[in-house]
Amino acid sequence: MRRVVVTGVGALTPMGGDAASLVEALNRGFSGVRPLDTPWIQSLASPLAAPVTVPVETRFPKLRRLMLDRVAQLSLLATQEAITQSGLDFKSDAGLDCGIFWGTGMGGATTLEHAYIESLLNHAARPRPSTIVMFMTNSSTGQIGIEHKIRGPSFTYSSACSSSAVAIGEAFTAIRSERIRYAVAGGGEALLTQGVMKAWESLQTLARPDPEHPETSCRPFDKHRSGFILGEGAAALVLEEEASARARGANILAELVGYGNSTDAGHITQPDVGGQSRAMRQALTQAGLQPGQIQHINAHGTGTMVGDVIETQAIKSVFGDWARQIPISATKALHGHLMGATGAVEMVVALGVLRTRIVPPTAHLLHPDPECDLDYVPEGAREIPALDVVMSNSFGFGGNNAVLIARRYQP
């Protein structure tokens, strides 16, 4: 089996326009949560979201923009950063041996909602001809291939909140098993539309706004938590077989070593300790690691009453006594829940932890839930001098669980 390394990362999130901004903002405890400035937000009980504030539209020519939903724009910009950092040129023969593995929960939601509004409110209106190709779930995948001339296999994964973690894990598997040499893997999501946000609100999973400090409304593992804040963004990794990266003198950022994937098979929305535990154990087994070798976990940690307790129990089940020694971060408190993009975003964060050896905090954790009694780093960013192995958890509606493990690269 080939070793698989990371040679590029990119991110466009509520924390800023690149991967470095994301990691730095989390370590500072900066919150990307804010009231949305749009007229329809008054129809919701909460005006809060975690939007990307970088002017994305200005990065594309007008004619190109007419074919791109917001999710594709975010995805293309994150991918461009990762590919640039990798130093690879897929317009050459490398593009024939590169795959695209992309995750998204709902694809072009903005385009789809606009088409429905036009059709239902104005029966004479005709949606723009590009509507289908803008909202179809694999639109971002196709646009990434076109932009960078990546001509190997391409896959689009849609498993709710685990979508982009699955994409990275499957890309890792494809390179490891010698199907391809390179992969662009990650995900994007842009769901800050009236219909989508009202639907999440009706499910009673969105956090109640704190009247004095709304940016602190998402509080994972706190006994006063009430849910998550919906966000948007994209993140990408360039994965490569180790021999190729070394031969071209690439800057190797980390090595991916483990991937676990399981299905709860219990309930469409309620998480399951057994399912989450199986995914973590699978990742550890594939990585050839013992539980005591994991030094940091980026938790799924959405801030829901049930989800945080189940994840805590699953971590205890897998790690036993060592669970209390692992610093665990729930970064959604600051960057929001990016749904299909969240696994890739949090993997970029985990790789930033490897690079800096600084673990970001679980923000706004002031009143710990007695049922969530592990080390969630509530005091602020923590420096850990000898930190070499990280795990990232992503658990989605539908009962899909995806777990990734990376370690500091050693030739």
| Residues whose CB is less than 8 angstroms from the CB of residue 351 and which lie 6 or more positions away in sequence, other chains included | 6, 9, 237, 253, 254, 390, 406
Rounded distance, CA 378 to CA 185, Å?
31
Residue 318's H or E segment, with its range, is helix 305-319
Check 114, 148, 335, 337 and give the catalytic one: 337
367 has catalytic annotation: no
Rounded distance, CA 396 to CA 263, Å?
10
Which residues sit opposite 358 in a β-bridge? 383
Tell me if 144 sits within 8 A of 79, measured CB to CB: yes
Radius of gyration of the chain (CA): 20
Check 161, 335, 364, 372 and give the catalytic one: 161
Q: How would you classify residue 107: left for phi > 0, otherwise alpha for psi between -120 and 50, otherwise beta?
A: left
337 has catalytic annotation: yes
DSSP 48-78: EEB---S-GGGGS-HHHHTT--HHHHHHHHH
Check 148, 300, 335, 364 and give the catalytic one: 300
Rounded distance, CA 134 to CA 152, Å?
22
Residues known to be catalytic:
161, 300, 337
